[in-house]
Amino acid sequence: MSADWRIICNQMVVDVDLAQVEIDRIFQALADATRRDILTRVIEREQSVSALAGAYRMSLPAVQKHVSVLERAGLIGKTRHGREQHVHAEPQRIRLARELLDRYEVLWRHRIAAMDALLAEDPAHRSKE
């Protein structure tokens, strides 16, 4: 199952074909606090896996495991720099993760604006409740 997503960001419309399994991977990847923290760090700047590991009280293999979950979800990418693996963020995919709930937020903002307009339109009315 796949969906045609019209993603609107930075006044740019991007068509993305995203399979359901990919969406689930994104949400699973973001469901862990350490992985969200890793993502935040690499959004700030690209860095090596060993530099990332230095920031946590866990083993290098444990950090590598988190990094690979994020990589499978497409939220980050890795490039080789000599003997080191560098981790960088994939901002387009990160935006997609927020997109579902962001759209729902837009719907609610619309509803609330409509409720507010209704209340302003008919100020004399008192409910029979």
Partner 1 sequence: MPVLAVEKDLDRHLLTVTAEFAAPVERVWALYADPRRLERHWGPPGAPATFVRHELVPGARSHYYMTGPDGERTDGMWIVREVDAPRSFEVDDAFADEHGEPKAETGFMRMRADFAPVDGGTRVTFVSTFESTEQLQQMLEMGMEEGLTLAMGQIDDLLAEEGASV
* CB-CB contact of 29 with 76 (8 Å): no
- Number of helices (H) and strands (E), helices first, in the chain? 5, 5
Going by C-beta distance under 8 Å and a sequence separation of 6 or more, which residues neighbour residue 2? 17, 18, 19, 20
Question: Tokens at residue 97, please?
Answer: 């993760």
Going by C-beta distance under 8 Å and a sequence separation of 6 or more, which residues neighbour residue 111? none
- Find the shortest distance in angstroms from Cβ 29 to partner 1: 10
Interface with partner 1 (CB under 8 A)? 3, 6, 8, 20, 23-24, 27, 30-31, 97-98, 100-120, 123, 125-129
- Find the shortest distance in angstroms from Cβ 28 to partner 1: 9
- Find the shortest distance in angstroms from Cβ 17 to partner 1: 13
Query: Which lies closer to partner 1 via its Cβ, residue 25 or residue 49?
Result: 25
Query: Which lies closer to partner 1 via its Cβ, residue 35 or residue 67?
Result: 35
- Find the shortest distance in angstroms from Cβ 62 to partner 1: 20
